[in-house]
Amino acid sequence: MDKRKLILAILGVVLIVMSFYVANIIIASKSTPTPRPTKVVKTVFVDTVRNVTVPIFVPANGNLMAKSRVELYSEVQGVFKRGSKLFKPGEEYRQGELIIGIDAAEYRASVQSAKSNLYNLITSIMPDLRLDYPEISPKWQAYLNDFDLNQTTPQLPELSTEKERYFISGRGILTSYYNVKNLEERLSKYNIRAPFSGVLTEALVTEGTLIRSGQKLGEFIDTGIYELEVAVSKTFSDMLRLGEKVELVNLERTRTYAGTVSRINARVDQNSQTITAFIEVRDPSLKEGMYLEANLHAKEEENAIEIDRGLLLEGDRIFVVRDTILDLIDVKPVYFTDKSVVLKEVPDGITIVSKPVVGAYAGMLVKVYQGESSLN
């Protein structure tokens, strides 16, 4: 019995030893060697600095407005009568062409009555002129001969002597004449004519409408010339010049137009600290209200370079490459746009990074891309 227990004990010990041995073999078979990290050298794009004169353009935008526009108002009352053209937006009129006609039959009759009274008044003094003032009688007779009730009243003959002036004025002729001219002037307001060739952009009345004095009738613009009103920072107010050429581009950036700075406001807006400039532009394809962008040539910065804005780091520094090692230098930014920045105090001939490098730091080992170019 003791012998059997001894054999079992020995077998148990052997099994335990073999279990440890097999376990170690399995563990050893699953372990893999840790790879040694390889050092990655990034390739960077570079440019060689060459300082030049960089033109600075100030971006601005706005909507076109017609330079010449007229708001049509009525100074008289009457019924709007139909003309040769419909009074509708988009209708074109030549200079001097009738835009609006208001029925003036009743008022015209009163004007004719006043003209007739003037004619009769002058006729009544002709016998006295022939007897007392034979030297001036012929010119007044000639005036009567030229007097036409259906035409504008002609100007009275010149009163050459003091006696003539007293005589004519004492008979009430001057008062009657100026009364007629006043009525004729008001009669002309029943017809509104185009002050220039253009297009009707707004029509607030239709034919047959009773128009009242002071009522707005519509709006008329000249389509030959437009202005773009833009706000420019007061920093560049002293640099803008009248007559400066400006390139304009539409919202889709499919068309460009040539403009000229025509006016510059002398007052600075207190809220935005900007000044208003007006750019004159002519083109048959332009329409009022179009959105355009402009680049105003504000100044030229000498001994400077222009780079991508993303290359400028905090603290006004940029990366340079010195013998395949990245380094940082201080620069002086003088003007920013939404995509670029103009820098000064960058030494000529130095090699700078031209495209952002992810994870870059001073002292980093890099490889320079062979397509090196000069930056200007």
pLDDT digits 0-9 by tens, 198-236 = 999 999 998 888 999 999 999 999 999 999 998 887 777
* pLDDT tens-place string over residues 54-68: 888 878 888 999 999
At position 15, the amino acid (one-letter code) is L
Name the pLDDT band for 33 (thresholds 50, 70, 90): low
pLDDT tens figures, 158-193? 888 888 888 888 889 999 999 999 999 999 999 999
Query: What type of residue sits at position 264?
Result: I
Over residues 342-367, the mean pLDDT reads 88
pLDDT band per the 50, 70, 90 thresholds, residue 376: low
For residue 190, what pLDDT is reported? 93
Domains of the chain in sequence order? 44-55+302-375 (2.40.420.20), 58-65+223-299 (2.40.30.170), 68-94+197-221 (2.40.50), 106-188 (no CATH)
Report the pLDDT value the prediction gives residue 372, as an integer from 0 to 100.
Answer: 47
Whether pLDDT at 338 is above 80: no
Higher-pLDDT residue of 8 and 358 is 358
